[in-house]
């Protein structure tokens, strides 16, 4: 949720942000109108209630016919107060809906436009060369007997799979390598719930334009999370947290679920786009003034992971129209995928400023005796199942084997190379 004072004092900044996103500027006007209507409705209700209280004193002093007349007026006024209270409640809900429809304000320097308008910040590493056409990750994985899509589909349907043998070890090794890096940099590991309440899912911004990507258990009114960011953002909801000794950093390891409702026909082969996967997610609560520096630190830790795995990649500054509602800036890291001859997203990191914390009511006290303020929140992925795609494709050899990155050797039960049976 955006700062209400920003809406009232600098609506043009919100309009400019929406223009960059390619959004509807009319959302700002609707929010302004709803906010004014809410304030008018509350003022009217409070005025009537004050009159009601004053009438009560007059009735107490009156007697006889005068008292009966006043009692009749009090009854009529009481009904008006009740109606005004109901109207004020409706106006509150309408204002909250209008304000909630506004996405976060993009930060200065974020590229304008849609998905294709990103800016490449750097390319790192050299894509491998092959004598012939490189195999895609599924062909490699099936020849190594470490990915079983056929049985995944048999058991659960399309976009499901089994990781088998060394494939399972590779995924677990990725998570352990990422956990090691996170803990060394002050992150507290959490195994979070993967089912959350509607208010938590909504508070993180995942029930907006991408609500159709989320699995909902209607009978229990719980949502399956597509990232542990959701549970980690809700971890300190309705709390005043202590940032006196620096930011609170958590890293969550969880199974994630996505409906992929808008991806019909895209990436139908293999494990690039699936309904269930593992993900290791960093999450930071920090003072807003330090958020941009933390964002670059998160990006640096992600790059350490890709470099440790020997993967060529590029870093892009995501355009405003592709940020999602919560992020004010997002960097994506895309690894080179040889079979496609293209870079594909492996990980991203987002600075959500105070957008999520306002919705979830997470605050801190900058000064011991001062008022509380919303914190800033940031998130970034340190490892996920999709990374296996880049590992298998970039490290495949002409004989069909795959060289395991040295950083993963401690987690591979002595294996350094995977070879076809």
Q: How many residues does the chain have?
A: 421
Q: How many CB atoms lie within 10 A of CB 364?
A: 22
Whole-angstrom distance between the N-terminal and C-terminal Cα of the chain?
A: 54
Tokens of 370: 């001062």
Catalytic residues: 258, 273, 345, 348, 386
Say if residues 315 and 302 touch (Cβ distance below 8 Å).
Answer: no
Say if residues 44 and 52 touch (Cβ distance below 8 Å).
Answer: no
Q: At what angle do helices 11-21 and 26-61 cross, to 10 degrees?
A: 140
Write down the residue that tokens 């998570």 correspond to.
Answer: 175
CA atoms 113, 291, 226, 93: torsion sign: negative
Say if residues 316 and 331 touch (Cβ distance below 8 Å).
Answer: yes
Instruction: List the one residue out of 228, 205, 224, 203 whose CA is nearest residue 215.
Output: 224
Write down the residue that tokens 């290791």 correspond to.
Answer: 280
């Amino acid at each position: 949720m955006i700062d209400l004072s920003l809406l009232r004092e600098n609506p043009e900044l919100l309009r400019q942000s929406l223009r960059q996103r390619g959004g509807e500027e009319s959302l700002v006007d609707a929010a302004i109108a709803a906010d004014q209507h809410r304030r008018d409705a509350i003022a009217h209700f409070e005025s009537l209630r004050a009159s009601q209280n004053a009438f009560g004193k007059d009735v107490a002093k009156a007697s006889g016919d005068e008292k009966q007349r006043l009692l009749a007026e009090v009854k009529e006024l009481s009904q008006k107060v009740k109606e005004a209270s109901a109207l004020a409640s409706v106006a509150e809900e309408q204002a909250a809906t209008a304000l909630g429809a506004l996405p976060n304000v993009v930060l200065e320097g974020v590229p304008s436009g849609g998905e294709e308008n990103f800016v490449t910040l750097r390319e790192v590493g050299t894509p491998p060369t092959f004598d012939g056409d490189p195999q895609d990750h599924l062909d490699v994985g099936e020849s190594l007997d470490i990915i079983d899509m056929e049985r995944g589909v048999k058991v659960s349907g399309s976009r499901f799979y089994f990781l088998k043998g060394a494939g399972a070890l590779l995924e677990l090794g990725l998570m352990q390598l990422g956990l090691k890096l996170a803990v060394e940099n002050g992150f507290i590991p959490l195994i979070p719930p993967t089912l959350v309440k509607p208010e938590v899912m909504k508070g993180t911004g995942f029930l907006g334009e991408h609500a159709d990507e989320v699995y909902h258990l209607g009978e229990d009114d719980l949502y399956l999370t597509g990232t542990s960011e959701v549970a980690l953002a809700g971890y300190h909801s309705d709390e005043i947290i202590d940032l006196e000794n620096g930011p609170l950093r958590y890293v969550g390891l969880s199974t994630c679920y996505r409906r992929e409702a808008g991806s019909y026909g895209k990436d139908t082969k293999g494990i690039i786009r699936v309904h269930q996967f593992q993900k290791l997610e960093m999450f930071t609560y920090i003072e807003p003034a330090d958020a941009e520096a933390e964002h670059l630190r998160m990006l640096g830790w992600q790059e350490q992971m890709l470099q440790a795995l020997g993967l060529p990649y590029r870093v892009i500054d995501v355009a405003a129209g592709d940020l999602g509602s919560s992020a004010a800036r997002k960097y994506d890291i895309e690894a080179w995928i040889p079979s496609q001859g293209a870079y594909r997203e492996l990980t991203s990191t987002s600075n959500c400023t105070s957008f999520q914390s306002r919705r979830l009511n997470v605050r801190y006290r900058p000064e011991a005796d001062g008022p509380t303020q919303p914190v800033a929140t940031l998130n970034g992925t340190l490892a996920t199942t999709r990374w296996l795609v880049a590992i298998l494709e970039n490290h495949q050899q002409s004989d069909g084997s795959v060289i395991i990155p040295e950083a993963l050797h401690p987690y591979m039960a002595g294996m350094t190379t995977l070879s076809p049976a």
